[in-house]
């Protein structure tokens, strides 16, 4: 179990074990000093985002991801997708939806809570069940 806190300063919720996600591959989107990418955003990826990420040099499909998968995303990559959407380079589905209860508070260093809330999904348990 993680001792990290989510964006609401409550205990971080387990996000996904199918596929096993997180920098530490323990199902949590918590980070540490070795995680230079800050894999703190609990995102539900779309095919459009996966295409975008691959074009940026990070082919998440190689890790077995498909549209609808739950994955701990690099804070910067999520923010880049948001900026691409704002610049009309991505459609609205290109920005992964976010499970705020499973997103570590460190994401707030780069992304305001209000922005994450605009893309939030209802927290519905581990693996979306």
Give all domains of the chain, ordered by start, each with its CATH number.
Answer: 1-121 (3.30.56.110)
Give the end-to-end CA distance of the chain in Å, rounded to a whole number: 19
At residue 55, the pLDDT reads 95
Provide long-range contacts, Cβ within 8 A and 24+ apart, for 80-89: 80/56, 81/49, 81/52, 81/53, 82/111, 82/115, 82/119, 84/52
Helix (H) or strand (E) holding 6: none
Reported as a single tens digit per residue, the pLDDT across 37-72 is 999 999 999 999 999 999 999 999 998 999 999 999
Helix (H) and strand (E) counts in the chain: 3, 3
């Amino acid at each position: 179990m993680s001792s990290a806190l989510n964006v609401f300063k409550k205990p971080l919720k387990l996000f996904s074990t199918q596929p096993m996600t997180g920098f530490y591959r323990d199902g949590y989107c918590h980070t540490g000093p070795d995680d230079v990418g800050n894999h703190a955003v609990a995102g539900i990826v779309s095919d459009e985002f996966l295409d975008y990420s691959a074009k940026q040099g990070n082919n998440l499909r190689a890790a077995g991801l498909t549209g609808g998968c739950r994955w701990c995303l690099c804070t910067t990559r999520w923010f880049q997708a948001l900026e691409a959407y704002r610049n009309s380079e991505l459609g609205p589905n290109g920005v992964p939806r976010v499970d705020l209860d499973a997103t570590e508070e460190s994401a707030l260093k780069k992304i305001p809570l209000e922005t994450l809330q605009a893309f939030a999904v209802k927290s519905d348990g581990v693996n979306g069940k």
